[in-house]
Amino acid sequence: MLKPSKLSAAKTFPTMFKDSGTERGGRSFCLPLVNGILLAMSDFSFRPAPEKTIFIDLPDTEGLKIKGILRGSFDQPLAVLIHGLPGSGNGPMQYLAAHHLSEHGIASLRLFLYDDDPNTRDLADCTLDVHASDFGTAVDYLRAQDVKQLFAVGHSYGGLTLLRSQASLDGAVLWDPTHGEVFSSPLGKKWEKEARVQSVDGFKLYLDGKGYIEPEAIMNEQATMGDTSDWAKKDYPLKIITAGQGMLVEFGAKYAQAAQEPKVHVIIPGASHNFMNSDEDLLKLFDETYDWIKEFTNV
């Protein structure tokens, strides 16, 4: 049975629609690096652990690879962490989540869907289908390394990437995932109207506030995306964690309604889209993520 739950936050900071915690379509304008560093120093206690950068060949390309940073080993349960748009495998959420999972015996692979390293993709050449295909290639690679228990965690557009993929997993967690209908929602249209958009060399530049950049190819894809709720009908356990102060609460509920059992929908009331309003919100996000993975492993 669907088990929605609400978590209280001891302290939060007010956010507005254009704040760093919210975004058009569930995508972040920026990641608050200073806050992430302070969190790592104060509320997290990490033991040093080795990390290894790996490059996975992408089939049917001219030598392109997808980059990942492995924390832990292939003989552990492993979670693939998928960033949002635009984003990085070294964003504070992904970096801190990898450390949090490591402390509980879960390995992780932080994916970089595009990167500055040679022979990796450029953001300009990406679409959601490209992201989903590359994620599937990473999953195939990990299965070939004999990873026994494989999970995925996707934030924002990374959650949509996960849902778009047909990769075989043992479970997944969506962090405030983007939904196809948000692009035509009243809030999405309002933001689009106010964002002072310019087109430059295949990109849309949003000049409002902190700014935002997006390839036109992805925007064209979004225009015909429509209702993506049924993408949540997976044959593996799925947890949706929604930011209560974000613009995606109703869409998280649609995913939860469409998903098959076992499934859980959690709302963190005080959280904005990046879950970094307070230490409590971020720790609850990580604890909820670990609890779901632990439920389907022998850790």
| Tens digit of each residue's pLDDT (9 = 90 or more) over 154-165 | 999 999 999 999
**Amino acid at site 223:** A
Structure tokens at 140: 């195939």
Q: Among 14-28, 114-128, 176-190, 230-244, which is the least confidently predicted range?
A: 14-28
**In terms of residue numbers, what domain contains 87?**
5-185+229-295
- By residue count, the chain amounts to 299
pLDDT at 188 over 90: no
* Residue 192 lies inside a defined structural domain of this protein: no
Chain centroid, CA 160 distance in Å: 8
Q: Give the whole-angstrom CA distance, residue 54 versus residue 200.
A: 33
Structure tokens at 59: 């089939």
What DSSP designation does 184 have? G
* Residue 181 lies inside a defined structural domain of this protein: yes
On whether the CB atoms of residues 28 and 84 are closer than 8 A, the answer is yes
Res 191: pLDDT: 65
pLDDT at 16 over 80: no
Q: Give the whole-angstrom CA distance, residue 40 versus residue 91.
A: 13
Residue 105 gets the label, from left (phi > 0), alpha (psi -120 to 50) or beta, of: left
Does the pTM surpass 0.75? The reply is yes
Higher pLDDT, 192 or 289: 289
Q: Which whole number is the average pLDDT over 193-208?
A: 79
pLDDT at 279 over 60: yes
Residue 92 gets the label, from left (phi > 0), alpha (psi -120 to 50) or beta, of: alpha
Q: Give the whole-angstrom CA distance, residue 165 versus residue 152.
A: 11
The total of structural domains in the chain comes to: 1
Prior bond of 262 cis (ω within 30°): yes
Q: Among 10-19, 34-43, 54-63, 221-230, which is the least confidently predicted range?
A: 10-19
Q: Give the whole-angstrom CA distance, residue 58 versus residue 45.
A: 36
* Residue 142 lies inside a defined structural domain of this protein: yes
What digits encode the pLDDT tens for the residues 76-109?
Answer: 999 999 999 989 999 999 999 999 999 999 999 9
Q: Which whole number is the average pLDDT over 135-139?
A: 98
Structure tokens at 44: 């997290």
Nearest residue to 109 via CA among 67, 140, 46, 148: 67
* Residue 98 lies inside a defined structural domain of this protein: yes
Nearest residue to 263 via CA among 243, 280, 240: 240
Q: Give the whole-angstrom CA distance, residue 275 versus residue 297.
A: 26
- Supply the CATH number for residue 258's domain: 3.40.50.1820
pLDDT at 10 over 60: no
* Residue 220 lies inside a defined structural domain of this protein: no
pLDDT at 181 over 70: yes
* Residue 206 lies inside a defined structural domain of this protein: no
Name the packing angle between helices 279-295 and 92-103 (round to 10°): 50
Q: Give the whole-angstrom CA distance, residue 273 versus residue 175.
A: 8
**Burial (0-12, 13-18, 19+ Cβ within 10 Å), 32:** middle
* Residue 221 lies inside a defined structural domain of this protein: no
